[in-house]
Structures are given as C-alpha cells and as structure tokens.
C-alpha cells in the first residue's frame, strides 16, 4: 500500500500513485529534494551548453565551426555558426535561469537533432567514438523541458509569463 509520509509514520496519507517507501524515515528529505529536481535538471541542461558557446564566441571558434558546418553542407555556414554559438551561450544561460525556457528548448531540440542525425550518426552510438549519444540525450532532455516549461524557481515564473 502506498502512503505519503510527513515526518511521522502516523501522519501518513494514502496516495495510490506513490510506491511504499522502503525507508520511511528518509521521506522528508526525499520530498524536500524532489522540489529542486526539475530546476536542477533545467539549470544543468542549460549550463552544459554555455562553455560550448563561449568557446565559439570568445575562444576564436566561430571560423572553425563555420568551416565544419560548410563541410557538412549546412549553409550559410558562418551565420549558422553565430546562431549556434549564441544559442549555446545565451540560450544556455536563459534555460538555466528559466527565461523563455520553451523557446530556447525548442531550438536546442532542433540543433541537437541536426547534430545527432546529420553530424554524428555515421560514427555510431557511443560519444567516445564521436557518436550521437550526447546530442541525442541532450536533445531528448531539451524536449522534456520543452514539454514541461520553466517550472518553479524560474524567471518565467517570476515574470508571470511563459511561452
């Protein structure tokens, strides 16, 4: 039987959608940490993009990115390189902060789809071999963020508007 425990085994409320905890004393900690799990996922997903964009924008990587995009048949290569660099840097910060979250997530989904299926597909699955594992995973997480929106503890929530 599934119960929702609140600090004391005697203060339980039946919840049919929740499994019975193995160690009920850990329930308060689990409940408290569950509240930060989605903001943590959203922030980590955004922040993992930021260094990639920073490298392109501030580390002299735009020309190399544009060259690579041209070699993959993606044109106009330089404009796309700038767009991707800005999406990774500014969009990553925006996603982490929960600002225009769905708009950024939708663009990351598209970017990662191109990365996974056009650029990395022929290398196989594993990321260590240049495969599509990382962009596919990041794209799927961005898709989940697109569906879920900004959530609690976001600038969208603070502003009171969300796309």
- Asked whether residue 77 carries a pLDDT value surpassing 80, the answer given is yes
Please state, rounded to an integer, the average pLDDT across all residues of the chain. 90
Taking residue 107's Cβ as centre, other Cβ atoms within 10 Å add up to: 18
Residue 30 placed within a domain: no
CA 60 to chain centre: 25
pLDDT at 13: 63
The total of structural domains in the chain comes to 1
Residue 29 lies in a domain: no
Higher confidence at residue 12 or residue 102?
102
The rounded percent of the chain whose pLDDT value lies above 70 is 91
Between 29-38, 78-87, 125-134, the lowest mean confidence (pLDDT) is in 29-38
CA–CA dist 124, 101 (Å, integer): 31
Does 104 fall in a domain?
yes
Task: Let me know if residue 98 belongs to a domain.
Answer: yes
Inside any domain, residue 35:
no
In a domain, 65, yes or no: yes
Residue indicated by tokens 């929530």: 157
How does residue 30 score in pLDDT terms, banded at 50, 70 and 90?
confident
| pLDDT confidence bin for 123, thresholds 50/70/90 | very high
The answer to the question of residue 5 being in a domain is no
pLDDT band at 11 (very low <50, low <70, confident <90, very high): low
Residues spanned by the domain of 117: 46-159
Rounded Cα–Cα distance for residues 134 and 114 (Å): 12
Residue 82 lies in a domain: yes
């Amino acid at each position: 039987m599934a119960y929702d425990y609140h600090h004391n085994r005697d203060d339980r409320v039946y919840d049919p959608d929740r499994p019975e905890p193995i160690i009920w004393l850990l329930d308060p900690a689990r409940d408290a940490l569950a509240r930060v799990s989605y903001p943590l996922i959203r922030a980590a997903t955004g922040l993992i993009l930021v260094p990639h964009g920073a490298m392109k924008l501030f580390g002299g990587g735009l020309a190399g990115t544009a060259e690579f995009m041209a070699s993959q048949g993606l044109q106009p290569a330089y404009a796309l390189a700038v767009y991707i660099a800005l999406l990774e840097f500014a969009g990553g910060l925006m996603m982490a902060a929960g600002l225009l979250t769905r708009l950024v997530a939708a663009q990351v989904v598209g970017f990662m789809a191109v990365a996974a299926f056009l650029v990395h597909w022929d290398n196989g699955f594993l990321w260590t071999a240049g495969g599509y594992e990382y962009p596919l995973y990041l794209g799927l997480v961005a898709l989940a963020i697109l569906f879920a929106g900004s959530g609690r503890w976001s600038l969208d929530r603070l502003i009171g508007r969300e796309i």
